[in-house]
Structure 1
Amino acid sequence: MAVAGVMGVQSQGALACPKHLAGYNQDTNRFGVGPDWDTVDVHIDKRVLHELYLPAFKASIQEADAASIMCSYNMLNGFFACENDWLLNTTLRQEWGFQGFVVADWYFSTRSTVGAVMAGLDISMPGGSLEDSYGFPAYYGDLLVKAVDNGTIPASRIDDMVARVWRYMFKLGVVDNSLTGDAESVARTHAHLDLAQKMAEDGSVLLKNDDRTLPLSPQKYSHVAVFGVDGTNQSQVTENHGGFVIDTTMVVQSPLDALKQRASKEGNMTVTYAEAYPGTGEFPTVPSTMFVNDVLNVTYYTTTDFSGPINQTDFVPNITSASYPEELWVSWPQVFSCVYEGTFKANTSGTYHFSLTGQGDAILYINGQVIANMSKANFGNTVQGIADLTAGDEVSLSLNYSMGYSLSTGAYGVTLGLDVGNEARDEEAISLAEKADLSIFFASDRHSEGVDSNIGLSLPGDQDAVISRIAKRSKKTVVILNTNSAILMPWINEVDAVIQSWYGGQQIGLALGRLLFGDISPSGKLPVTFPKTLDDAIKITSDLYLPYEEGLNVGYRWYDEHKVDPLFSFGHGLTYSTFELGNVAVHLTDSTATSGPELVICSTTLTNTGTVPASEVVQLYVSYPEAASEPPKLLKAFSKVHLEAGHSTDVLLQVLMDDLRIWSEQKEDWDFVHGEYSFLVGFSASEIKVEGKMVL
């Protein structure tokens, strides 16, 4: 992917910039908290770096000639990534032969002048002084000039920095060719829409399909009920909930409208809709009338951790980001935290959906229990929590807010919202589920830049409970997951089919319509493993010191190593057809005869044994000799094959001998382990069908 992406960008005369080098695998503590901004220090041994975290960057340079590389915010093995001499000089330039320039990510990546320049950072971003905003000087401004003038940084290094930038600007024609298009150009061409639709179709994964519940047809279902706001125009199609992306992607057609239109064409099928769940967005601000005496007490502190001293106390009618005293709307490094306290009144019995929207850190408590946790949000974010209350209940409510992780001066704060679960909404959903032949529930999470999940892998709010209630009343139930990663599915045995559509983009409605009605067969495969429970997943922490103790056992490798059965394996994905693999043959090419690289070639036969055309992804995993100390098996090749019903074809999967090498920390180089290798061919990491062996 890295090679193809770089080549595609640079074929258009633009400079590609693979990022982030290296070990940048979480947003939690990527900057740290102001005013100190202590970032996470990830510790990864060199073998793991070379075998897992660096190969994509290496390939983008040696195979695609990337013009630039962006270094990351985090520290790597005790050094900031953008002033890590081993990473930027020894590895990037000396070992890989990188001729382009290294650019820092925005704001917090650059932490010094001399250290960063001499370690290999060529461009610091965004330039100018950050002292007024975040307490950072402009390390590459006047300080750089002074360092050159006093001889701390040699002029030859400045020449090298400039040459590295200009080299690719000339090489790719940026200097010689005029720009095409302009900022007002419309990029939504028919070709782009077609590509967006194909990506949504090919990327959606059919996880479960009991008793051929899908595809839909009037012969099987005359009445289909759709639930969940993500089935409407509120569909989570892009990162428009935070970060730097603030424009909503154009949704050509919502999934609900696409289903209605398609059902109308089919005839003898009706599609109806009920909300069932209020969604994952921000709810209306809790009014003062919901609090005893119509007020809350708020205490402001001059630190980010509520440790004092107290700045002031006040009474407020509600909690909004606009309610802070004017003197607190200041720039960094001035910081504050505050605690709201009051008594909340439940007017009706039911499930109360609370939302926290804002930037920074916020935790909502009711009767001392954590209800919602907005953790370390650099930009705007919304999280939700629920509480079941009885009419007449008066419960203690407190909210702790810290602006420490907020990155927008003058725009920090938190707003407390509320949606009271109403009986009519629940009754409408249950009634519709009982009447329909099949129910489709659109579930979603809410993620964006600067936000990691703070509720484990669960769906936000009470979506799990709503899915379960609908499934128990429905004849058949399909769940569509608009989520950005793996989630837990406590209701998996109660539903008949599940499609993982991720954040499917602007054409997701049309794509799901075609997939659900069987115009095309699903062909997507999981790029991650879905665990059965949170205890089955690798444990992570929010500590600033973060050793990657799993080593090489990342993802499916970890499940294999610990013999844990996942809910859905890496590489899993069903189709509307069935496939079989023939025996596998393994042979080694003669590099002297072919004048090419030495290859291991695995050949097998794939047959579509079903009744409809479909695509299958044949996957090749390799099991190493024990002396290699590798995980139980590693994905080394795959091939996506489309076949008509009843047809067969030969499939060749090849692996470079060089790609079977492991990194030797003793030799500080790549090494080949001799012995017997197993070549495992199948349809997922846990669905191996055939095996071949060879001594290499």
Structure 2
Amino acid sequence: MKNKIIKLSFFSMLLFMEYSANSQTINNMNLLNTSQPVKSLSSKYDAKIDQLVAQMTLEEKIGMLHGNSMFATGGVKRLGIPELKMADGPLGVREEISRDNWSAAGWTNDFATYYPASGALAATWDAKMAYTFGNSVGQELRARDKDMLLSPAINIVRTPLGGRTYEYMSEDPFLNKKIAVPLIVGLQNNDVMACVKHFAANNQETNRDIYDVQMDERTLREIYLPAFEAAVKEAKSYAVMGAYNKLRGDYLCENDYMLNTILRDEWGFKGVVVSDWAAVHSTVKSLKNGLDIEMGTPKPFNEFFLADKLIAAVKAGEISETEIDKHVKRILGVLFQVKAMGGEDRVKGSIATEAHYQDTYKIASEAVVLLKNEGNALPLKLNRIKSIAVIGNNATKKNALGGFGAGVKTKREITPLEGLKNRLPSSIKINYAEGYLERYEVKNKGNMGDITMNGPVTIDQLDPSKLEEAIEAAKNSDMAIVFAGSNRDYETEASDRRNLKLPFGQEELIDKVRAVNPNTIVVIIAGAPFDIDAISKKNKALVWSWFNGSEGGNALADVLLGKTNPSGKLPWTMPKNIMDSPAHATNSFPGGKTVNYAEGILVGYRWFDTKKIEPLYPFGYGLSYTTFAFDNAKTDKKEYATDETISVSVTVKNAGKVDGKEVVQLYASKSDSKITRAAQELKGFEKVLVKAGKWETVTIKVPVAELAYYNAEAKKWTVEPGNYKLKLGSSSRDIKKEVIVTIK
């Protein structure tokens, strides 16, 4: 079959597999150019909104500005205004919660699909998967009759120890925005609202209620805001959630600069700003500085800052009713937009369907990262194997629920052990041993939700009987697979981890299993980096999986057995030592009441590459069961004006014997810059399927504007003229081709 040239750009065949019946070329720089509509907030409802507001009492208006239950705001029944109903959703739609406390409501029909965590989604490096995720979750949200999903969380991974690293996407603002935008569009196409969080500079759990972030303006603009800006400008997110912490002295739910100057005045945001739960600290200031809805934890809802206190403030003349009307109109605007006001056909949705489980399978399959494969130990050669020792608590651990924060009540969560049982032929015997116990020091386990503490203290001594069982299983099997890593009780909202060490004595277990069976491979299941340097050196094969959804075990088994060729890439840098990471090297994590982002723009791989520090595994890294070669890299021109777009093409050849997907990553650098810059920055990527022995030509479009830096003195983005090196590779440390362009 003749090789065909596929021109790919920004959204990596976003709709090619999802909606197109033919194999037409897709070259979509911007989602606005695809057939999938980006639904902006419409002004067609303004007259109706004005009429409604004119009929409302002050008490009815203010009732819409705060929670009247754990996950809903007040409505006005006599005027046909419903509650605005919300649900948590980083892993799928959360089970129903009681109206006035955190206990489960006890419904029997609130089971949902468990989706891969956002770190896994980012590891796909695939915008199509992000759209699939958003569209699928959006259908489930509608089936539960909700209006707003409290997701996605798109904060930068500043420290490997962050308790929500699994829930956030990446250390890189470009990757974050390219995954966030299609996710939001897919979600909102189902007549629901995305609530993008946590705006902004919310990058640790330690002291999250009180710490004050200090950073320079360029760092804020280049690192911590791009994904939020794209969510607002490109995806047209209907809602944004304010963060717990402060920025430059003001809480982020009452931060005039962030909520009014940047979000609304500069970016043109028309939607609603929702507080994180119990993140509000004032009445008049919060409202005037941009907050629309106050949500919180259990106390009488009328005691919220935007409840009785606000009524009193209006009556005392501290704030005008006209100001109240402005916020009510915003809420009515998004309710009309998602057809919650009645009168228009609204998406009905579906939940926990086989189609949705298969969505999770697709995402999970593309998220698994192959870190090491010495001697082609993987995929498993079943003709040489009659028995496999499956060892480790993580082989059977379920992660849909757990920890402090939002999980999913699901009827299906395939564990790694179940996945292997589902996929292996019956002739192969599985010898399972738990190996290690998940144990915590009792005095510390209760602190998991204490945000002034770091994470739980684990008991790292192996249980002798469990260890003996594991050794016997390994001795009596042709090979062993140790499932190690973490879980959602250990990695959790409301606390950051204490260190990078694998908990529960797992490293010792792996060593002792390998000592009796050298034919051992290791699978790490976790959402954030760990110190696996020694494990990587000593073991032939190392695989990284995630909190990977309802079908995670099946997807992982298919990778191990070779049905799926792994194509995941790390969305963050895995350091050899925690002190190599920028927030730790600069002694600026966790800080105290003030956290100074001393590393500036050098976050993640930018720090490692600029400071020439060798990571354990670099940003963008991931192996395949085949090998790829890059050739014939070129641009459409040599010189560009600042308003033009650079078209970079490269040929990708699959030099192996199995089909595979490669992620072509484009990094830009300017060595003679007159300003401080990172050694290189991600500015484009595309995932492409290449058949064995064939080639594909990938074209990546880079707007020259993407090369700009934020000029804090001039308060604008500036493209520095001169030569730029565009590097094409399969990771940030595996650059295969380079081209130079000149910006006039």
State the TM-score, normalized to the length of structure 1.
0.75
For 1:211, the aligned partner's letter is G
Q: What is the correspondence of 1:38-187 to structure 2 with a 5 Å cutoff? A: 39-107=210-278, 109-126=279-296, 138-177=304-343, 187=351
Q: Which residue of 2 aligns with 1:467?
A: 510
1-structure distance, mates of 2:577, 2:640: 48
Q: Is residue 2:553 matched to residue 1:513?
A: no
Given that 2:667 and 2:682 are in contact with CA atoms closer than 8 Å, whether structure 1 keeps it comes out as yes
C-alpha displacement of 1:651: 0.9
Q: Which residue of 2 aligns with 1:238?
A: 400
1-structure distance, mates of 2:454, 2:678: 40
Q: Is residue 2:589 matched to residue 1:423?
A: no
For 1:567, the aligned partner's letter is L
Q: Is residue 2:276 matched to residue 1:276?
A: no
Deviations 1:577-615 (A, max 9, x none): 0000003112349999xxx96211111100000011111
Q: Which residue of 1 aligns with 2:742?
A: 695
C-alpha displacement of 1:124: 1.2
For 2:229, the aligned partner's letter is K
Q: Which residue of 2 aligns with 1:219?
A: 383
Secondary structure class of the residue paired with 2:327? helix
Alpha-carbon spacing, 1:159–1:260, altered in 2? closer, same or farther (3 Å): closer
C-alpha displacement of 1:127: 8.8
Given that 1:100 and 1:165 are in contact with CA atoms closer than 8 Å, whether structure 2 keeps it comes out as yes
Q: Is residue 2:416 matched to residue 1:255?
A: yes
1-structure distance, mates of 2:246, 2:194: 24
Fraction of identical pairs, as percent: 33
For 2:738, the aligned partner's letter is E
1:543 to 579, 592, 595: 592
1-structure distance, mates of 2:616, 2:411: 34
Given that 1:226 and 1:256 are in contact with CA atoms closer than 8 Å, whether structure 2 keeps it comes out as yes
2-structure distance, mates of 1:375, 1:126: 16
C-alpha displacement of 1:17: 1.2
Q: Which residue of 2 aligns with 1:333?
A: none
Q: Which residue of 1 aligns with 2:207?
A: 29
Alpha-carbon spacing, 1:213–1:189, altered in 2? closer, same or farther (3 Å): same
For 2:208, the aligned partner's letter is R
C-alpha displacement of 1:177: 4.8
2:645 to 579, 583, 599: 599
2:724 to 673, 677, 684: 677
Given that 1:529 and 1:566 are in contact with CA atoms closer than 8 Å, whether structure 2 keeps it comes out as yes
Given that 1:13 and 1:172 are in contact with CA atoms closer than 8 Å, whether structure 2 keeps it comes out as yes
Secondary structure class of the residue paired with 2:678? coil
1-structure distance, mates of 2:350, 2:646: 47
Alpha-carbon spacing, 1:14–1:586, altered in 2? closer, same or farther (3 Å): same
Secondary structure class of the residue paired with 1:571? coil
For 1:92, the aligned partner's letter is L
2-structure distance, mates of 1:261, 1:152: 65
Q: Which residue of 1 aligns with 2:627?
A: 578
Q: Which residue of 1 aligns with 2:659?
A: 613
C-alpha displacement of 1:248: 4.9
2-structure distance, mates of 1:104, 1:611: 53
2-structure distance, mates of 1:251, 1:488: 31
Q: Which residue of 1 aligns with 2:197?
A: 19
Deviations 1:610-669 (A, max 9, x none): 011111101000002422422000001111011111000111111111211111111011
Given that 1:243 and 1:379 are in contact with CA atoms closer than 8 Å, whether structure 2 keeps it comes out as no
For 1:585, the aligned partner's letter is K
More divergent stretch after superposition (665-674 vs 55-64): 55-64
C-alpha displacement of 1:224: 1.6
Structure whose residues are more often strand by fraction: 1
C-alpha displacement of 1:251: 3.7
Alpha-carbon spacing, 1:688–1:224, altered in 2? closer, same or farther (3 Å): same
Q: What is the correspondence of 1:528-539 to structure 2 with a 5 Å cutoff? A: 528-538=572-582, 539=584
1:630 to 655, 672, 677: 677
Secondary structure class of the residue paired with 2:617? coil
Secondary structure class of the residue paired with 2:468? helix
C-alpha displacement of 1:358: 4.6
2-structure distance, mates of 1:14, 1:509: 30
Given that 1:239 and 1:448 are in contact with CA atoms closer than 8 Å, whether structure 2 keeps it comes out as no
Alpha-carbon spacing, 1:196–1:383, altered in 2? closer, same or farther (3 Å): farther
Q: Which residue of 2 aligns with 1:647?
A: 694
2-structure distance, mates of 1:443, 1:251: 22
C-alpha displacement of 1:130: 6.0
C-alpha displacement of 1:126: 3.5
Given that 2:213 and 2:246 are in contact with CA atoms closer than 8 Å, whether structure 1 keeps it comes out as yes
1-structure distance, mates of 2:731, 2:530: 19
C-alpha displacement of 1:422: 4.3
State the TM-score, normalized to the length of structure 2.
0.71
C-alpha displacement of 1:463: 0.8
C-alpha displacement of 1:180: 6.6
2-structure distance, mates of 1:693, 1:589: 8
Show structure 1 runs of 5+ residues with no match. Answer: 32-38, 283-353, 361-373, 388-420
For 2:628, the aligned partner's letter is F
Deviations 1:429-473 (A, max 9, x none): 223323333211111223454343433111112111111221222
2-structure distance, mates of 1:127, 1:148: 25
1:454 to 497, 505, 519: 497
Q: Which residue of 1 aligns with 2:83?
A: none
Alpha-carbon spacing, 1:146–1:565, altered in 2? closer, same or farther (3 Å): same
Given that 1:241 and 1:381 are in contact with CA atoms closer than 8 Å, whether structure 2 keeps it comes out as no
Given that 1:251 and 1:506 are in contact with CA atoms closer than 8 Å, whether structure 2 keeps it comes out as yes
Secondary structure class of the residue paired with 2:194? coil
2-structure distance, mates of 1:649, 1:74: 47
Given that 1:589 and 1:600 are in contact with CA atoms closer than 8 Å, whether structure 2 keeps it comes out as no
Deviations 1:94-138 (A, max 9, x none): 11111112111111x110112111111111113995699xxxx52
Q: What is the correspondence of 1:327-338 to structure 2 with a 5 Å cutoff? A: none
Q: Which residue of 2 aligns with 1:409?
A: none
For 1:598, the aligned partner's letter is E
Secondary structure class of the residue paired with 1:115? helix
Q: Which residue of 2 aligns with 1:437?
A: 478
Deviations 1:521-553 (A, max 9, x none): 000000011111223223022422101111111
2-structure distance, mates of 1:551, 1:542: 15
Compare relative contact order (CA 8 Å, sep 6+) and give the higher one, 1 or 2.
Answer: 2
1-structure distance, mates of 2:203, 2:486: 19
CA RMSD, 1 decimal: 2.6
2-structure distance, mates of 1:533, 1:441: 23
For 1:26, the aligned partner's letter is Q
For 2:197, the aligned partner's letter is K
Deviations 1:166-213 (A, max 9, x none): 12222332213579799xx97111111111111111111011111100
